[in-house]
Amino acid sequence: MTQENFLLNSAGLTHLDRQGQAQMVDVSAKVPTIRQAVAVAKVRMLPATFAAIQAGNAPKGDVLGTARIAGIMAAKQTATLIPLCHPLPLQKIAVDVKPDPQLPGYQIYATVKTKAETGVEMEALTAVSIAALTLYDMAKALEKSIQIESIHLVSKSGGKSGDYSPPEQ
């Protein structure tokens, strides 16, 4: 093991083995606890695009419903998409697509909950990311310049590290 790998591993980087290779963390000794995470993404668009979606006049159909279902499906597939994520038994996945006339556009929230040995932050972040991409796909015939932005964790609870919410900005 090189000194650099030793320093990385001794710094508590749990996804690296002693040789500095990526590994899936062994969580088998951890006690399952209730864990929840909430993530958000913003989808910004032109006022005319926003108005068309709100009126249900998008060429591909139900933009918001399709984005919501895509987000739910994505959360369930996180372990197949993110290489070192553990497959988890998800007990709750809620994806809300909320209109925000001030953007103009939508804020997409995902809440994911489980009782497991590890958290669900990646599932919530995956859900909002795929929901936002689906919204773009469903509305790109109206506007190609739609912007997906500010994907981040809003909160998490449970587990060894406890609760988290970002500092006020």
Q: What percent of the chain stands above pLDDT 90?
A: 74
Q: Which candidate in 26, 100, 137, 163 is catalytic?
A: 137
User: Is 137 annotated as catalytic?
Assistant: yes
Structural domains present in the chain: 1-25 (no CATH), 31-157 (3.30.70.640)
The answer to whether the beta carbons of residues 116 and 11 sit under 8 Å apart is no
Q: What is the band of 11 on the pLDDT scale with cuts at 50, 70, 90?
A: low
Residue 84 annotated in ligand binding: yes
Q: What is the band of 168 on the pLDDT scale with cuts at 50, 70, 90?
A: confident
- For residue 1, pLDDT beyond 50: no
CA 133, CA 155: separation in Å to the nearest integer? 22
Give CA separation, 54 vs 57, 72, 111, 113, in Å. 8, 21, 23, 29
Residue 88 annotated in ligand binding: no
pTM above threshold 0.95? no
